[in-house]
Amino acid sequence: MSSLEISSSCCNQEMKLPLSPPLVEGSAFVPPGKDMNEVEEKSKDIIKFTSEKLSIDEASQLVISPVCGAVSLFVGTTRNNFEGKKVISLEYEAYLPMAENEVRKICSDIRQKWPVRHIAVFHRLGLVPVSEASIIIAVSSAHRAASLEAVSYAIDNLKAKVPIWKKEMYEESPSSWKRNKECFWATSDSTT
């Protein structure tokens, strides 16, 4: 791994710090002698449904770009309560072919509305303990307004359109599958 030597004037000690994280496939590498503006970087949509713990660092690193000055993130976590009941974990299920297709549509819609570079949408499946992330959305853009608006649009539309179901596990009550009230197929007269 490359390192950068920094001399501390007060202590006269040297520290080695990494120059950058390891390159991710598809990331921009600027060859020596090339200007940053000469590098053509292809936009990426990274969609991941997994039972593994989600990494905020991974999501943000995947969307960083040398042509962008903003990375906006939304991280949804399991909270420890719902309507006075103590929640110990959530369990998520998804119909993956449709869920992935709907997330791709959301990414496409975002690209129609805002000038963004990269989009990452990670959603956890299976059990998600309290305080762990169940969803991470990361978007990069040249300026902050586009990425902030895109992240807000992404989470709102994901909750409304993507077939993902959530079961709340309570400490002293039976667990309960929760209907997402924002889903377009949920109506006010349907049952939970």
Please tell me the distance from the alpha carbon of residue 127 to that of residue 55, in angstroms, as a whole number. 16
Does 167 show up as a binding residue in the annotation? yes
Q: Is 143 annotated as contributing to ligand binding?
A: yes
Is 182 one of the annotated binding-site residues?
no
Name the strand (E) or helix (H) holding 149.
helix 144-161
Q: How far is CA 192 from CA 28, 160, 165, 177, 179, in A?
A: 47, 16, 12, 7, 6
Q: Pseudo-torsion of CA 120, 121, 123, 129, nearest 10°?
A: 60
Q: Any binding-site annotation on 166?
A: yes
C-alpha radius of gyration, the chain, whole number: 20
**Secondary structure class of 178 (helix, strand, coil):** strand
* CA dist 66 → 39, 40, 87, 111 (Å): 9, 11, 41, 19
Binding annotation: 143-144, 159, 166-168
Binding annotation for substrate: 143-144, 159, 166-168
